Amino acid sequence: MSRMFDLVKQLTELTGPANYEESVQEVLRELWEDRVEELRSDPVGNLYARWGGSGRRVLIGAHADEIGLLVKSVTEDGFLWPTSGTGGSEMNPPASFNVGQRVRVVGDRATLPGTLVTVTGHVATKEQRDRGVPGWKDIFVDVGAADAGELEEAGIRPGCPIAWDVATRRVGNTIVGKAMDDRAALAVMTSLLETIPKEDLRCEVHLVSTVQEELGLVGAIPAAAEGFDAALALDVGLAGDIPPVGMDQFPARLGGGPILGYKDASVHYSREILGELAAVGQKIGVPTQPAVFLQYGSDGAAWIRHGLPAALLAFPTRYTHSPFETVNAGDLLGLRDLIGAWITREK
Ligand SMILES: [Zn+2]
C-alpha cells in the first residue's frame, strides 16, 4: 500500500504536459530498466519496454502527459495570458483551471513558479465582479517578474506549457493530487514489474508510456503499428459516488475495484478481452465494475482503429481533469492484481 502511494506521488508530481513528457519517461526508464529485457523510445517520445514472456503479444499502456495550459502571450509588464493546452478552443471557460491555483511555467531555459490570478476585491470594477465564471480574458498568470525581460531570460514565450503545481497527499481513504490521469496507471504498471516474476508471464508482455493522449490519442497511433495481438489501455474511470453525480449516472465507486470500460465516446472495447478480465477478477476475488463513458476517450480507441483489439481498464477517479483528482489505493492494487493474474494465467 505504501509503495503504491510512493509511486503515485513520485509520478504525479512530475511536470509533464503534452510535448513535455520527457521527465516522466526518464523516471520510468530508471524504475523499469533493471526489470525488463529492452527499453526504447520512438521518434515522437513514446517509451516502450519489452518485459518478457512468449506467446500472444500483449501491450499494456498508459499515457505520460497531463492536462495543462499554454502561454498565449507575454505582456510588457511580465504577465502571461494562457490558452488551452489540450486542443479545443476558447469558446468554453478554462474548465478546471481556476483562480488561486499554483502553477509551473516551463520555459526553454528555466521553470518558474506562478499563480493563476484575476482582478479581485478592492480593484475589481462592478462589471468584473458581476461577470461570474472567469473566462479566458479574466485569468492570467503572475510569476512575480519585474518585467518581460525576466521571462525572456527564462525562455518563456508563446507555446510554453503551464502545469499545475500540486503536492500529492493522502486524504482519509483516498489519494488526492493532479495527473492521476494517467500517472497512477503508470504507477500500477511499475508495481506490476516490481511484484510479478518475469518467469510467470504466459504471454509476451510489452509496456508503453504514450505521449499526447490528452490532445486526441496521438502517441497511441504509432504504438499500434508494432504488431501486438491484444492491448490494455489503463486510464482514469469516471466515478459516480459524489453528491452531484450519483451512481445512477456513473455506476462505479472508489473502493469498488477496477472498472471494465465497455464503450466510450468513440469505440466499443474488445468484448473478448473484457470478458477474460471479468472472469479472472472473479477467480482471484478482485471485484470489477462494468461501465460506459460518454465524454471520454482513451489510447485504446486509437488502438482499435488501427487494428489492435483493446480493452479499457480503469481505476475509479473523482474530479477528473482537475488538480484534485481523487483515487483509492486499494483500487490501484486491485487493478495491478487483476492485470497480473491475466498475464500469468494458463490458457
Ligand atoms: Zn487519461
Domains 2-66+178-344 and 69-164 belong to one CATH topology = no
The CATH fold assigned to 2-66+178-344 is Aminopeptidase (3.40.630)
Residue 13 alpha carbon to ligand 1 centre in Å: 16
For residue 235, the CA-to-ligand 1 centroid distance in Å is 5
**Ligand 1 mean position to 261 CA, how many Å?**
13
Would you state the pLDDT for residue 30?
98
Mean pLDDT of the region 205-233: 89
| Higher per-residue pLDDT: 136 or 156 | 156
Q: Ligand 1 centre and the CA of 152: distance in Å?
A: 33
| DSSP H or E segment with residue 314 | strand 310-317
CA of 185 to the centre of ligand 1 (A): 9
Name the DSSP class of 316. Answer: E
72 three-class SS = strand
For 160-175, letters b (16+ CB in 10 Å) and e give bbbbbbbebeeeeebb
Chain centre to alpha carbon of residue 215: 12
Task: Using the mean position of ligand 1's atoms as its centre, give its distance from the Cα of residue 145 in Å.
Answer: 33
140-199 confidence digits (pLDDT tens): 999 999 999 999 999 999 999 999 999 999 999 999 999 999 999 999 999 999 999 999
Q: Which residue has the higher pLDDT, 275 or 138?
A: 275
Give the pLDDT of residue 210: 96
Say if residue 94's pLDDT is above 80: no
Return the pLDDT at 224.
83
Instruction: Compute, in angstroms, the gap from residue 168 CA to the centroid of ligand 1.
Output: 17
CA atoms 28, 34, 37, 41: torsion sign = positive
| 40 closest CA partner among 302, 204, 223 | 223
For the whole model, what pTM was predicted? 0.95
- Rounded Cα distance between 190 and 209, Å, is 11
* Grid-cell match 504514450, residue found: 210
Name the burial class of residue 43, with classes exposed (0-12), middle (13-18) and buried (19+) by CB atoms within 10 angstroms of its CB.
exposed
Question: Which amino acid appears at position 66 of this protein?
Answer: E
CA of 122 to the centre of ligand 1 (A): 40
Q: What's the pLDDT at 19?
A: 93
3-class SS at 230? strand
For ligand 1, the distance from its centroid to the CA atom of residue 238, given in whole angstroms, is 11
Centre of ligand 1 from the C-alpha of residue 70, in Å: 19
- For residues 78 and 142, the answer to whether their CB atoms sit within 8 Å is no
How far is Cα 23 from Cα 29, in angstroms, rounded to an integer?
10
Return left, alpha or beta for 240; rule: phi > 0 is left, psi -120 to 50 is alpha, else beta: alpha
183, 168 contact by CB (below 8 A): no
pLDDT band at residue 295, thresholds of 50, 70 and 90? confident
Residue 95 confidence class, pLDDT cut points 50, 70, 90: confident
Between the CA of 119 and the centroid of ligand 1 the distance, in Å, is 33
Domain ranges of the chain: 2-66+178-344, 69-164
What is the structure's pLDDT at 236? 97
Instruction: Give the chain's mean pLDDT.
Output: 94
Residue 131 in this model has a pLDDT that exceeds 90: no
Task: Tell me the average pLDDT across 261-277.
Answer: 96
Confidence of residue 31 (pLDDT cuts 50, 70, 90): very high
Regarding predicted confidence, which is higher, 88 or 56?
A: 56
Q: 346 pLDDT band (50/70/90 cuts)?
A: confident
Q: From the CA of 187, how far away is ligand 1's center (Å)?
A: 13
Phi, psi (deg, nearest 5) at residue 212? 50, 40
The dihedral sign for the CA sequence 197, 203, 204, 209:
negative
**CA–CA distance, 9 with 1 (Å, rounded to integer):** 12
CATH architecture of 69-164: Beta Barrel (2.40)
* Lowest model confidence (mean pLDDT) among 58-72, 132-146, 302-316: 132-146
The span from the CA of 67 to the CA of 85, in Å, is 7
237 CA to centre of ligand 1 in angstroms: 9
Q: Compute, in angstroms, the gap from residue 124 CA to the centroid of ligand 1.
A: 37
Report the separation in Å between the CA atom of 66 and the middle of ligand 1, taken as the mean of its atom positions: 8
Above 80 in pLDDT, residue 88?
no
pLDDT at residue 347 tops 90: no
Cα 298 to ligand 1 centre (Å): 6
Mean pLDDT of 72-99: 85
Q: Which amino acid is at 21?
A: E
Q: What is the mean pLDDT of residues 101-124?
A: 93
Averaged pLDDT for residues 217-235? 89
